[in-house]
């Protein structure tokens, strides 16, 4: 029963296809139930974000393409239309992929921490929906432990790797108690949105959002608990801001030196941190000459980003080494799990044969047959029953020249003879070790 992941992400598929295959939270439960109802699917979990849609599953042998076909059919797409976009990883490659996803090594922004929360959400939904058995349950638990170890043992998340993050980090350094600062954001695009969310997470005391299109500012303010302003009211509120972050698409400066001079006067020369993330610039460059103004442009922050990326790449190499070790640990458990099931089947089959032979012997004794003859028949019948199938397979292997099977059988039966195991013990080697005594102890 192979362990498998199939899906697509920002590296393999364009955004329009990722949008078509996305599974939102409201539809996840129904989609998971539909997937689990598919023949050959034993366990499954669905992970869907803006950058990836993936299926983690355990399948019956021979069903390796089943999950990919379901993904296409569920979204009304021909399976062949996904050729070249879907990836499929099996066994230890599937385990390594999940661990890399959860630690941010497979993310658009290297080392970003949000993906771990999304993986945990996918795990919880699969758990509630009955998609997790012993295999995937153990896989996700080890995944979370691995992600925690990577965060603890490396500095992969310690350095900013986006301009917005770098700007907020700089603001934190300038205002050690950012929860006491008022921040004015100008614009409502992706950069400002990302900065606003970072500021919210760091509990900025007050967030003002000014934008030319007021509904856009209101929508973002609603997400981060801020206050929306029309752009025309910008100067009216400028003196309130300890930190100003601007990233608009304007062709002319949004903040002039004269506006800032008036704001500083109203602030009684309390300093202002200005972060201009726009190209062309939103803040007149001459404002940097004002006392109590600290102006940083996008070039300054990109240098911080480049340093952060170099640091994260080094941490990523350390994380890969941790993941390689954790994958080996999981796969050792997985293979041991398979051998446990095999041993259980072998033992159950042997017990059934023993019961059949014993029942036959008891009926013979009850009919008055000679006990010595019955015991001989019992031993002969049980030996033949247990050895018939492996003997037939070994003879067939010899005819086919299957030397691997013959060597494996030789190692197995040699080990059995030397072990002198107790046939009634579930764990023969363990109990034999405890029952064996030194001659001086007998």
**What does the domain layout of the chain look like in residue ranges?**
3-157+311-335, 163-300
- What predicted TM-score, i.e. pTM, was given to this entire model? 0.60
Tell me whether domains 3-157+311-335 and 163-300 share a fold. Answer: no
Residue 139 is predicted with a pLDDT of 97
Lowest mean pLDDT among 105-114, 142-151, 235-244, 260-269: 105-114
In CATH terms, the superfamily for domain 163-300 is NAD(P)-binding Rossmann-like Domain (3.40.50.720)
The half-sphere exposure of 404 on its side-chain side, counting CA atoms within 13 A, is 0
pLDDT tens-digit readout, 12-69 = 999 889 989 999 888 999 999 999 999 999 999 999 988 899 999 999 988 888 999 9
pLDDT tens readout for residues 264-274: 999 997 999 99
Q: How confident is the model at residue 160 (pLDDT cuts 50, 70, 90)?
A: low
pLDDT band (50, 70, 90) for residue 114: confident
Closest CA to 233 of 212, 206, 252, 247: 212
What's the CATH architecture for 3-157+311-335?
2-Layer Sandwich (3.30)
Q: Which two tokens stand for residue 125?
A: 């939904």
Which active-site residues does the annotation give? Answer: 50
């Amino acid at each position: 029963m192979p362990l498998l992941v199939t899906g697509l992400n920002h590296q393999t598929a364009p955004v329009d296809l990722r949008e078509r295959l996305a599974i939102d939270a409201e539809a996840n439960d129904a989609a998971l139930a539909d997937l689990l109802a598919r023949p050959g699917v034993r366990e499954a979990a669905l992970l869907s974000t803006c950058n990836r849609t993936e299926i983690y599953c355990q399948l019956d042998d021979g069903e390796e393409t089943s999950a990919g076909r379901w993904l296409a059919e569920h979204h009304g797409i021909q399976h062949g239309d996904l050729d070249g976009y879907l990836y499929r990883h099996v066994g230890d490659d599937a385990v390594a992929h999940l661990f890399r996803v959860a630690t941010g090594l497979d993310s658009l922004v290297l080392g970003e921490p949000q993906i771990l929360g999304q993986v945990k959400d996918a795990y919880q939904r699969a758990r509630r929906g009955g998609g997790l058995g012993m295999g995937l349950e153990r896989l996700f638990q080890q995944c979370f432990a691995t992600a925690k170890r990577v965060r603890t043992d490396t500095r992969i998340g310690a350095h900013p790797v986006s301009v917005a993050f770098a700007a907020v980090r700089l603001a934190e350094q300038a205002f050690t108690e950012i929860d006491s600062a008022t921040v004015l954001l100008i614009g409502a695009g992706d950069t400002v949105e990302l900065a606003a969310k970072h500021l919210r997470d760091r509990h900025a005391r007050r967030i003002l959002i000014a934008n030319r299109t007021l509904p856009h500012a209101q929508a973002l303010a609603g997400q981060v608990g801020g206050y929306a302003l029309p752009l025309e009211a910008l100067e009216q509120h400028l003196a309130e801001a300890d930190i100003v972050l601007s990233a608009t698409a304007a062709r002319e400066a949004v903040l002039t030196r004269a506006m800032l001079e008036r704001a500083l006067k109203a602030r009684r020369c309390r300093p202002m941190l200005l972060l201009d993330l726009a190209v062309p610039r939103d803040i007149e460059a001459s404002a940097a000459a004002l006392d109590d103004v600290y102006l940083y442009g996008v070039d300054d922050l990109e240098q911080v980003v480049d340093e952060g990326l170099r640091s994260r790449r080094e941490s990523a190499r350390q994380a890969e080494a941790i993941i390689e070790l954790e994958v080996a640990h999981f796969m050792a458990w997985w293979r041991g799990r398979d051998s446990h099931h095999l041993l259980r089947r072998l033992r159950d089959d042997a017990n059934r044969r023993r019961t059949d032979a014993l029942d036959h012997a008891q009926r013979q004794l009850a009919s008055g047959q000679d006990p010595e003859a019955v015991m001989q028949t019992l031993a002969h019948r049980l030996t033949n029953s247990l050895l018939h199938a492996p003997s037939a397979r070994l003879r067939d292997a010899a005819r086919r020249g299957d030397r691997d099977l013959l060597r494996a059988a030789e190692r197995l039966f040699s080990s059995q003879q030397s072990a002198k195991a107790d046939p009634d013990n579930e764990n023969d080697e363990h109990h034999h070790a405890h029952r064996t005594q030194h001659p001086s102890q007998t």
